[in-house]
Amino acid sequence: MGTILYELHFDWTDSLPLLIPLVVGLGFFFVFKWYPEQNTGANQRGSSGYTGYVFFKWMGWIVGVLTIILFVCLLAAHIYDFSEKKNALENNEVLIVEGYVEQYHAMPFEGHDTEHFEINGVFFEYTNFELTNGYNVPACYGGVVKENGQYLKIKYVDNLGYNVILYIEELAP
């Protein structure tokens, strides 16, 4: 038995980029409230700004609804993906590789690259700049995979040809 370095968990802070469509959607909902304040009398039929007011009102509603639907769909997909991976891990429906870390390539602190390595010919690649359920913390940000020669047991799933790490345990060789 070794030391568990990582196990799949849900962290809401990893989902913060999903709030972007929500904020944009809410902004569009309220744009028609702002327009008449900036253009006095624009919301009165027959005024010179009324056409613009109607345009912004409908555009606000349409884009607002669409971006909020996008937010709900993205959040539901993210939670569903997490649930599938958590169930796979709990039911041991995962692939397992054990061995020494080889061909380790660290991601630089400033990004613009990925961190990747192999264990017994199984390739793993990740970056913390992608929204994913699974291990994605490079060593420069406190990640647990740090160098060649670490002896690890990794549980992972294949996600469209991309190996997603769900569990990392450091073992004594």
Nearest-5° angle of CA 163, CA 165, CA 169? 135
13 pLDDT higher than 80? no
- Amino acid at site 78: H
> For 45-57, how does the pLDDT look when each residue is reduced to its tens digit (9 = 90+)?
777 777 777 787 7
Angstrom distance (rounded) from CA 141 to CA 164: 19
Distance of CA 11 to the CA centre of its chain: 10
Model confidence at 152, pLDDT cuts 50, 70, 90, reads very high
Query: CA angle, corner 19, sides to 158 and 22, nearest 5?
Result: 125
Half-sphere exposure of 84 (CA within 13 A, CB side): 13
Query: Residue 109's pLDDT is what?
Result: 84
Give yes or no for residue 101 having a pLDDT over 70: yes
Q: Per-residue pLDDT tens for 20-30?
A: 888 888 787 77
What pLDDT, on the 0 to 100 scale, is given for residue 112? 81
* pLDDT recorded at residue 32: 65
Interval 61-66 mean pLDDT: 85
pLDDT for residue 41 is more than 70: no
Cα(21)–Cα(18) distance, rounded to whole angstroms? 7
Q: Is there a contact between 13 and 23 (Cβ–Cβ < 8 Å)? A: no
Whole-angstrom Cα distance, residue 60 to residue 70? Answer: 15
Q: What is the mean pLDDT of residues 58-65?
A: 83
What is the pTM assigned to this prediction? 0.78
- Across residues 2-11, what is the average pLDDT? 90
Residue type, 142: G
Cα 70 from Cα 90, distance rounded (Å): 30
